[in-house]
Structure 1
């Protein structure tokens, strides 16, 4: 598995507070089959020019030194689009040196001009990877479909598929419609993982979707390739998922 969204660079945001916590999570991830993980600390677009790139490089190098053998760590950021029209084309802001940038909006609701800003990023030569759209108040399936048409990669938090409440319901609707491109843990030094979603999908008969969501499309993003469309859930499988959450 490849995880392109995590907050395991220690002590830099609201994620892991220490190397000890991060290493513990990395050991668990390695045992579960994660081979590549991108560390994506929070960064506001308005402060992109002041990003502490060298400091984070040093922390990442030390974390890689302590990581389990075979687990590759890559640099990245989760960029809050708090101000429009900011230049985010510096490779140091991207995921693992690719052209892909992981971006987010506030939970309070999609700002006016959200689609225009995502389109601007795509036209600047970047691949916007939108983090957890299921969490944004006002987000709809139609909006997600429009974003994908303009070149946005949709990343859903794995834990949302198995939760309850409106965001989780939207996440499952997105899965059923085939508009999620990539799953990620969004781990903050806690128990969240890709493995739990993989097991949940396999248990519900979504084997065809598992590899694309947890490995293939993440590799495409890091290699500057277009993600492969994930098939919508078959009618019978969708009914099984709905029955599970009516218990």
Structure 2
């Protein structure tokens, strides 16, 4: 598995506070089958020019030294699109050595001009990976379809698929329509993982979807290739999922 979105770089944001927290999580992830993990600390687009890349690179190198053998760590950011029109072309802002940017909107809802900003960033030659659209008030399946048509990669938080409430319902609706490209843990020094979502999908007959969602499309993103379309859930599987969650 490949995890594109984590907050395990210690002590830099609201994620893991220390190496003592991060390292056991990395060990657990490696045991579960994660081979590549991207540390994506929070960064506001308006402060991108001041991103503490050198310091974060030092922390990543130390974390890699303490990580289990066979687990490859990469550096990236989760960029809050707080101010439109910013320069996001610096190579230090991308996921690993790719041209992909992991971006997010505020929880308060989609801002006016949000779609235009995503389109603008793609025109800069960046692959936009939009983090957890299931969170954003005002997000619709039609909007997700529009974003994907001009190249936005949709990343959903794995744990949300197994939850309850509006974000989880919307995430499962996206899954049913084949609108999710990548799952990620968004681990903040806690118990969230890709492994549970992988098991959840396999238990419900999602063999076609699970490899693309937890490995194949993340690998495409990191190698600047177009993600492979994820098949929609079959009607039988969708019905079982909706019955499980009382829908």
Q: TM-score, length-normalised on structure 1?
A: 0.99
**For 1:87 and 1:231, how far apart are their aligned partners in 2?**
35
Q: Number of matched residues? A: 247
1:234 aligns with 2:223: no
What is the alpha-carbon root mean square deviation over aligned residues?
Answer: 0.7
The Cα offsets for residues 18-42 of structure 1, whole Å up to 9 and x where unpaired, read as 0010001000000000000000000
Aligned to 2:179: 179
Distance 1:22 1:162 in 2: 24
Output one character per residue of 1:28-84: Cα deviation in whole Å (capped at 9) or x when no partner: 000000000000000000000000000000000000000000000000000000000
Cα distance between partner residues in 2 of 1:140 and 1:73: 33
Partner of 1:111, secondary structure, is coil
Q: Does 1:25 align with 2:25?
A: yes
Q: Does 1:213 align with 2:213?
A: yes
CA displacement at 1:246 relative to structure 2: 1.5
**Superposed counterparts of 1:1-247, under 5 Å:** 1-246=1-246
Question: Secondary structure, in 3 states, of the residue corresponding to 2:188?
Answer: coil
Separation in 2 of the partners of 1:185 and 1:44? 21
> Could you list the runs of 4 or more consecutive aligned residues of structure 1 that deviate by over 6 angstroms after TM superposition?
none
Q: What's the secondary structure of 1:101's corresponding residue? A: strand
Q: Distance in 2 between matches of 1:199 and 1:27?
A: 19
Residue by residue over 1:87-138, the C-alpha shift from the partner in whole angstroms, topping out at 9 and shown as x without a partner, is 1111100000110000000000000000000000001100000000000011
**Counterpart-to-counterpart distance in 1, 2:17 and 2:240:** 39
CA distance in 1, matches of 2:10, 2:26: 12
Equivalent position SS for 1:4: strand
Q: Partners of 1:211 and 1:128 in 2: how far apart?
A: 21
Tell me, in whole angstroms, the C-alpha distance in 2 between the residues paired with 1:241 and 1:46: 40
Listed as ranges, the gaps of 5+ residues in structure 2 are none
- Stretches of structure 1 lacking an aligned partner (at least 5 in a row): none
Cα distance in 2 for residues equivalent to 1:89 and 1:74: 18
Deviation at 1:140, TM superposition (A): 0.5
